[in-house]
Amino acid sequence: MSLVLAVLLISSALFVWTRDSLQGTGLFRAAVPPQVRSLAVLPLVNLSGDPEQENFVAAMTEQLITELSRIGPLRVISRTSVMQYKGEKNKPLPQIGRELKVDAVMEGSVWRAGNRVRIAAHMIHAPTDQNMMTETYEGDLGDILKIQREVAESISTRVRAKLTPQQQSRLHDAPRVDPEAYQAYLAATHVDLSGYQGIKTAQSYLVKAIEKDPNFARAYTWLAVTHVLMGAQRWQSSRDAFPSAKQAIQKALELDEGNCEAHTVLARIRWQYDWDWPMAEKEYRRALELCPNDAHFVYGVYTAVNGRIPESRGDSYNP
């Protein structure tokens, strides 16, 4: 036996003995990613140096939360709850994680110049302050839906979320969108919809978005929302508002059947206009399958109004 081989054999034996001896003490332990069941996405920071990009950055935060809300095993904190930390520089992420009672916290930034977009994301395990992800994603504005889903996919991988085949397919299959259509859609989503004129303004933006990109499902969904609001507030007759809403939402679902927001809007139309409660129930349950985090509130309202109080609290619902 050569001297080199003998040394290698002895070294291997010593390593195995040391490993086996220390494993019981916890000093030698394989690195295992921490378990994450809940996540908070903090408001993204605008690095563009242009205050007019604030709405764009806010939309990135909202839509990233929406994409992550589609991941069933992961509880994602609502945008309303995280907005209190917008511009927060003094609190460390572990403290924010404790305050929000989540396992992980993600912070990030958005830079935009013309039609180029870059999103930087940093995620930590809140109890241990362990870095779980530091990534940068960049692309053309036309690929913004793809970029958003790439971030969501990276997070789902880090937290070891078990995705359904449908969820995996959605994350990998993001359509391009016309940049001008996306800009018009963003403008519509940031209009105050509490008054008649605001809704009409949003509708004009959405019509423009659809003209620019007839395959932009989100624009049809938001257009349906504006028609529902017009009918609900009696600013337009129900016979005009709700059929227009139904037409827009059916187009949205034709383009993207996995759009949980569209199923929620259609459920409301079935419930409050068609008076077709079995179909409303079906649509709410479909929305819950697609976005377990987002759809529970509206389904809870629906079941409470129908006198199903235990189910409205989630006591008996099992998707």
Q: Where are the domains of the chain?
A: 38-172, 179-312
pLDDT band at 156 (very low <50, low <70, confident <90, very high): confident
> Is it the case that residue 8 has pLDDT exceeding 60?
no
pLDDT digits (tens, 9 = 90+) for 178-234: 999 999 999 999 999 999 999 999 999 999 999 999 999 999 999 999 999 999 999
Q: Which contiguous run of DSSP H or E holds residue 122?
A: strand 116-125
pLDDT digits (tens, 9 = 90+) for 68-92: 888 777 889 988 899 999 988 889 9
pLDDT > 90 in the chain, percent? 56
Tokens of 2: 């050569």
Q: Strand, coil or helix: what is 76?
A: strand
Which positions ≥6 away from 180 have C-beta within 8 Å?
Answer: 208, 212
The confidence score (pLDDT) of residue 32 equals 63
CATH number of 38-172: 3.40.50.10610
> Is it the case that residue 28 has pLDDT exceeding 50?
no
Q: What crossing angle do the helices spanning 179-189 and 54-69 adopt, rounded to 10°?
A: 90
> Is it the case that residue 293 has pLDDT exceeding 50?
yes
> Is it the case that residue 13 has pLDDT exceeding 70?
no
Which is higher by pLDDT, 131 or 298? Answer: 131
Strand partners, 137: 119
Lowest mean pLDDT among 265-269, 282-286, 308-312: 308-312
> Is it the case that residue 20 has pLDDT exceeding 70?
no
Amino acid at 224: A
Q: If you average pLDDT over every residue of the chain, what do you get?
A: 83
Residue with tokens 């809940």: 38
Dihedral angle over CA of 35, 40, 43, 45, nearest 10: -10
Asked, colleague to colleague, whether 38-172 and 179-312 share their fold, the answer is no
Lowest mean pLDDT among 35-44, 54-63, 208-217, 296-305: 296-305
> Is it the case that residue 11 has pLDDT exceeding 90?
no
Task: Quote the distance between the C-alpha of residue 193 and its chain's center.
Answer: 22
Angstrom distance (rounded) from CA 179 to CA 132: 32
Which positions ≥6 away from 9 have C-beta within 8 Å?
Answer: none
Tokens of 208: 């423009």
Query: For 129-232, where are the alpha helices, taking DSSP H only?
Result: 144-158, 165-172, 179-189, 196-212, 217-232
Amino acid at 143: D
pLDDT band at 316 (very low <50, low <70, confident <90, very high): very low
Which listed CATH number (3.30.420.40, 1.25.40.10, 1.10.1130.10, 1.10.20.140) goes with 179-312? Answer: 1.25.40.10
Angstrom distance (rounded) from CA 316 to CA 68: 24
The confidence score (pLDDT) of residue 206 equals 98
Smallest Cα–Cα separation from 143: which of 175, 112, 172?
175
Q: Strand, coil or helix: what is 137?
A: strand
| pTM (2 d.p.) | 0.78
Which is higher by pLDDT, 32 or 201? Answer: 201
Which positions ≥6 away from 76 have C-beta within 8 Å?
Answer: 38, 39, 40, 41, 65, 68, 69, 293
Angstrom distance (rounded) from CA 161 to CA 35: 9
Neighbours of 139 (CB within 10 A): 15
> Is it the case that residue 12 has pLDDT exceeding 50?
no
Query: For the chain, where are the alpha helices, taking DSSP H only?
Result: 3-23, 54-69, 79-82, 93-100, 144-158, 165-172, 179-189, 196-212, 217-232, 238-255, 260-272, 277-290, 292-305, 309-312
The confidence score (pLDDT) of residue 260 equals 86
Angstrom distance (rounded) from CA 282 to CA 305: 16
